[in-house]
Amino acid sequence: MLLIGPPGSGKGTQAERVSERLEIVAISTGDIFRYNVKEQTPLGIEAKKFMDAGDFVPDSVTNNMVRDRLLEDDAANGFLLDGYPRTVAQVEYLDGILAEKGQQLDVVLQLTADDDELVARLLNRAKETGRSDDTEAVIRHRLHLYHTQTEAVVSQYADRGTLTRVDGIGAVDEVTERVLAAIESVKSAS
């Protein structure tokens, strides 16, 4: 399963909730990057430069990290990807990883939200958590990247017939119920 959406759309929160309910591992590239930044690993030092500018971490670093994570035992019986793939090249790389494992994505959910709502959410989060990558200029840059690069990923999954859009605006519990209903609807249809 893949959960996709613009920065601030609630992907991380919903990924956590869905993984708990469905008893599958949530794999967040953002969490992995932040862990490496905190621990000041070589990957973290490199990733921090891009994250602080609001840019995507290069595919070469991201792809290898995701490949290694998907090969871990806890991902063998299902997983939820949060934050990957973000580019068409990453979609192709992910397709290759999954083909090697005899797997495929069953569900691709896109959380949708208005850009101004997202900016407000992320600025509020920045105040609460002190995240250095959540200034208004960086947020707007990240949203621009999402619209110019990641929307192509959304289109690719829509063309494959695996995309389901879910409104990401509202109380967290309401959004979770919409996400779970969308997953159930996809499972019933297959």
The residues assigned a catalytic role are 11, 86, 125, 131, 142
Residue 34 known to bind ligand: yes
Q: Which residue(s) pair with 3 in the sheet?
A: 82, 109
Residue 84 known to bind ligand: yes
**Rounded-to-integer distance, Cα 30 and Cα 117, Å:** 21
Structure tokens at 3: 């959960």
Beta pairing class for 25-28 and 79-82: parallel
Residue 168 known to bind ligand: no
**Rounded-to-integer distance, Cα 74 and Cα 13, Å:** 20
Residue 9 known to bind ligand: yes
Residue 10 known to bind ligand: yes
Residue 49 known to bind ligand: no
Residue 90 known to bind ligand: yes
Residue 33 known to bind ligand: no
66 CB-contact burial (10 Å; exposed 0-12 / middle 13-18 / buried 19+): buried
Residue 161 known to bind ligand: no
Q: Which residue(s) pair with 27 in the sheet?
A: 81
Q: Where does 9-133 have alpha helices with state H?
A: 11-22, 29-38, 42-53, 59-70, 88-101, 115-129
Residue 30 known to bind ligand: no
Structure tokens at 102: 């005899």
Residues at the binding site are 8-13, 29, 34, 55-57, 83-86, 90, 125, 131, 142, 170
Residues at the binding site for ATP are 8-13, 125, 170
Residues at the binding site for AMP are 29, 34, 55-57, 83-86, 90, 131, 142
